[in-house]
């Protein structure tokens, strides 16, 4: 939630979701407006952040992916093609920079 506040402070419009199931429901409604999905690997719900990222890439390929975790270091084959991994801990400046780069590269 702190990352969402940091992104809003940096001028981004942020849609939050408590888990992957809610995130998919939000994307069903707003996918045309979403440019980047920022997710943690470890989260509650029916799927983890890697599964969510894979589903988003398949359904909405225009959405770039930023995946994070404090506990996992996925190998490149686990990150969807349009995705990046950012290990925790990270600074708010790192998150903002990664999101900006993803928005301009895709």
**How many structural domains are present in the chain?**
1
Cβ proximity of 23 and 39 under 8 Å: yes
Confidence of residue 1 (pLDDT cuts 50, 70, 90): low
Measure the CA–CA gap between 27 and 20, rounded to whole angstroms: 10
Q: Print the domain residue range for 20.
A: 2-105
Q: Is this structure's pTM higher than 0.75?
A: yes
pLDDT tens-digit map of 36-91: 999 999 988 899 999 999 999 999 999 999 999 999 999 878 898 879 999 999 99
The set of residues, in sequence order, having a beta carbon less than 8 Å from that of 30 and lying 6+ positions away, is 15
CATH number of the domain where residue 49 is located: 3.40.50.2300
């Amino acid at each position: 939630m702190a990352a969402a506040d940091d992104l809003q402070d940096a001028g981004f419009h942020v849609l939050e979701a408590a888990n992957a199931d809610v995130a998919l429901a939000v994307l069903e409604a707003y996918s045309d407006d979403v440019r980047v999905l920022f997710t943690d690997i470890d989260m509650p719900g029916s799927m983890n952040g890697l599964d969510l990222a894979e589903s988003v890439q398949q359904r909405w390929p225009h959405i770039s992916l930023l995946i994070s975790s404090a506990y996992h270091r996925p190998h490149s084959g686990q990150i969807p093609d349009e995705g990046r991994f950012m290990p925790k801990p990270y600074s708010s400046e790192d998150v903002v920079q990664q999101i900006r780069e993803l928005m301009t590269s895709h």
